Amino acid sequence: MKKILFFITAVSLGFMSCTKEKTDYEAEIETVVTEHYEFKEAVSVSRQPYIISVEALNGTFYAGYNEIRIKVTDTRTSENIQASALTFLPILNLTDGSVGSGPHRYMPEYRADSSFFSGYAVFTNESGEKGTWDLYMGFQIGDDTYRIKQAVSVQKQLNKNLNMTAFTGKDGEQYYIALVSPQKPKIAENELVAGIYTFNKPSGPPSGVFPDPSQFSYSQVNDYTLQLDPRMPEPSMGNHSSPNNMDLKQRSDGLYYGVVNYTMTGNWTLNFIMLNKNGQILKGREVSTDFTPGIEGEKSDLFIDILF
């Protein structure tokens, strides 16, 4: 009897192994998305007795939105100190000789609890054929003023969930929308975070030592609304969309928060309509909501593509 039972168990176990393996959901989400959650030093410059270092996620500047942390360290005490008048200005040197920048926080804010300066930079291009990036920074300690120019390398953002777009609104202003979060979306309700910035046109010609910050001034726009309509552009998905999405509204940290539901992995297009505080459309239009199998989904004239 025991032998028979053993035999049956063995045969059963043989049959029990599945023909096809189940999908590992976590691994599936990670196949095209790498999530970075650790701030590491991206660049550091020594001005004895101080070292100024700029940290970014994964220690790399990527095209698009970058949250940055700037630390000023006194090498004699190895302590981070609160320098005054710390400024931060990324400059893009285009190959045609002109210069530009991207949205950034010129005066990063000091966070006393973690003793660094908090800022951000939206790099509009990666370093390469189009141009190169320099960081211009300055700070004061006591009566001494330090000025720094440091070339940095900006890498291509491979995570499409952190894409950005730049455009001119109907009001003639230059705008930037950069995705901040989620880095790694899920097939779920995702909080969608984006920064919306505008270029402040200079009121006069450049003056003083290059770079004149008034020529490269950007600010977060306030009280705008970013209407959202996510769709899958793949022809076979027939302009598929998802329910229960919420338009992006500004919160106290200046960023815009909304909700996007992704019903499956793959390519998605976030179609936007940007409204100013008076509710006027500055860019974007409604797209067809029809189910059109076999036809690639139509996109708004304001959109960002993502992939996960």
Partner 1 sequence: MGFLVLGIEASAQHTDAPRDTSKVLNEVTVIGIAKKKIETELKMAVSVDEFLASSENISFIKRGAYAWEPLLNNMSSERSTLTIDGMHIFGACTDKMDPITSYVESNNLSTIDIQSGQEGSLHGSTIAGSIDLKRKSTPFAMERKFSGAYQSGFEFNNRQFFNLGNVSYSDEKFVADASISFRNAGNYSDGNNNEVNHSQFHKFNTSLGLAYKTSELSSVRVDAIYDRANDVGFPALPMDLWLSRALITSASYKRLFEDGLLRVWDSKVYYNAIEHYMDDTTRPENLVHMDMPGWSNTYGLVSRVNLKSDRYSSEVQLNAYENISIAEMRMYPQDRSQRTMFAYSWPWVTTRFTGLSTNNSWDLSEKSQLSFGGSVGWNYNRSKYAEFNWIFHPGAPQEKSRILPGLHAGYRLNIDRFNFSAGLGYGHRAPSVSEGYGYYIYNSFDRYDYIGNPDLKNEISYEANASAGFKTERMDIVAKVNYFHIRNYIVGKILSLGSPMNYQSVGVKAYTSLDYARLFNLSVTANYDLLEHLHWKGMVAYARAKDDQDANLPFIRPLSYQTSLHWMHRQFSVMTSMNGDFAQQDFSPEYGEDRTPAYMTLDVSADYTFKIRHYTAVFQVGAENLTNEYYSTYADWGNIPRMGRNIFTSLKINF
Binding residues for partner 1, rule: CB under 8 A, are 1, 4-5, 8, 11-12, 15-16, 18-20, 22-23, 25, 28, 31-32, 186-189, 232, 234-244, 261, 263-267, 289, 291, 293-294, 307
If the CB atoms of residues 224 and 257 are measured against partner 1, the closer one turns out to be 257
Tell me 132's DSSP state: E
Asked if 248 contacts 273 with a C-beta cutoff of 8 angstroms, the reply is no
Residues in the chain: 308
- Please say whether the beta carbons of 215 and 89 come within 8 A: no
Smallest separation (angstroms) from partner 1 to the CB of 35: 16
Q: How far is the CB of 237 from partner 1 (least distance, A)?
A: 7
| Bond before 49 cis per omega within 30 degrees | yes
Would you say 18 or 209 has its CB closer to partner 1? 18
What minimum distance in Å lies between the beta carbon of 227 and partner 1? 16
Q: How far is 281 from 275, CA to CA, in rounded Å?
A: 4
Which CB, 125 or 227, lies closer to partner 1? 227
- CA-wise closest residue to 200 among 190, 213, 181: 213
Name the minimum Å distance from CB 265 to partner 1: 5
Residue corresponding to tokens 């593509």: 305
Min dist. Cβ of residue 68 to partner 1 (A): 30
Cβ-based nearer residue to partner 1, 135 or 270? 270
Q: To which residue do tokens 């043989």 refer?
A: 14
Q: Which is nearer to partner 1, 42 or 260 (CB)?
A: 260
Residue at token pair 């020529």: 215
